């Protein structure tokens, strides 16, 4: 290390429009945000079902199936996704292999349990009598969902989104076998740079990722004072 080697060039190269790193950041942001939103949309009806029929064997099997992709090594899940989607989908005849959508599917399978747990916990703490009272007053399911369930579940929903987003954004093991040219993620691009000997760019990207996560967590922590309890997972 010397003043001759002190340079911002590595960081400048990251944010060039034609840079693969910039594309990887865009892909990771899209995939992690989409996965987080879709997972909470799936988790709300699942948690509601569990509250109403927790003794159901089908619900128990669903919870076990939800936990398996998270417990398995990411490489195993990636191979499973390749075997499922290597051929075009029936009826629509569209292939997901080699696209961002196969990575999104893997993220949904991998992190569904992460987003589901806080919503399930919040749902189990809700008294069924609240919804029953609204039903006796003539409120249909949509009205009960809008006026009772969603407001009470909002903190856990945001907590689930934050958890899934932060974990998925830096994910490597699942996307390592599913990425293709132009479909790189942040974890993949850092790993490939390090393996190819470009330690300077790999280090620069890693520093930027760490700074982004720190800034995001600081902003959320500052906003946590104005948000309902439970929205920020590490402050609940």
> Looking at residue 34, what is its pLDDT?
94
Give the number of other Cβ atoms within 10 Å of residue 164's Cβ.
27
Summarize pLDDT for 194-231 with one digit per residue, the tens: 888 888 888 888 888 888 888 888 887 787 677 666 56
- List of residues 6+ apart from 234 with CB closer than 8 A: 217, 221
What pTM was computed for the model?
0.84
pLDDT under 70 in the chain at which residues? 1, 17-18, 224, 227-236
Summarize pLDDT for 65-96 with one digit per residue, the tens: 888 999 888 889 999 999 888 888 887 778 88
CA distances from 21 to 35, 109, 195 (A): 21, 26, 15
> Looking at residue 233, what is its pLDDT?
63
Task: For each of the domains in the chain, give its residue range(s) and CATH number, in order of start.
Answer: 21-235 (1.10.3720.10)
Distance CA 159, CA 151 (A): 14
> Looking at residue 197, what is its pLDDT?
83
> Looking at residue 235, what is its pLDDT?
63
Phi and psi angles of residue 58, each rounded to the nearest 5 degrees, phi first: -65, -40
């Amino acid at each position: 290390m010397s003043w001759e080697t002190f340079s911002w060039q590595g960081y400048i190269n990251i944010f060039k429009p034609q840079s693969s790193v910039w594309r990887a950041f865009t892909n990771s942001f899209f995939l992690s945000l989409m996965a987080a939103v879709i997972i909470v949309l799936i988790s709300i009806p699942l948690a509601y079902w569990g509250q109403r029929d927790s003794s159901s064997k089908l619900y128990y099997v669903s919870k076990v199936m939800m936990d398996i992709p998270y417990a398995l090594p990411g490489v195993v899940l990636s191979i499973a996704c390749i075997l499922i989607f290597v051929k075009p989908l029936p009826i629509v005849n569209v292939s997901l292999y080699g696209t961002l959508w196969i990575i999104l599917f893997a993220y949904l399978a991998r992190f569904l349990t992460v987003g589901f747990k806080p919503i399930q916990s919040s749902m189990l703490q809700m008294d069924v009598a609240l919804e029953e009272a609204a039903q006796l007053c003539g409120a249909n399911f949509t009205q009960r969902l809008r006026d009772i369930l969603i407001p009470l579940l909002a903190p856990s929903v945001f907590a689930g989104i934050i958890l899934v987003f932060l974990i998925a954004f830096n994910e490597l093991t699942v996307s390592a076998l599913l990425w293709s040219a132009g479909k790189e993620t942040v974890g993949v691009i850092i790993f490939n740079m390090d393996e190819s000997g470009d330690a300077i760019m790999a280090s620069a990207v890693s520093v930027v990722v760490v700074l982004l996560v720190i800034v995001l967590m600081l902003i959320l922590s500052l906003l946590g004072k104005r948000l309902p309890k439970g929205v920020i997972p590490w402050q609940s």
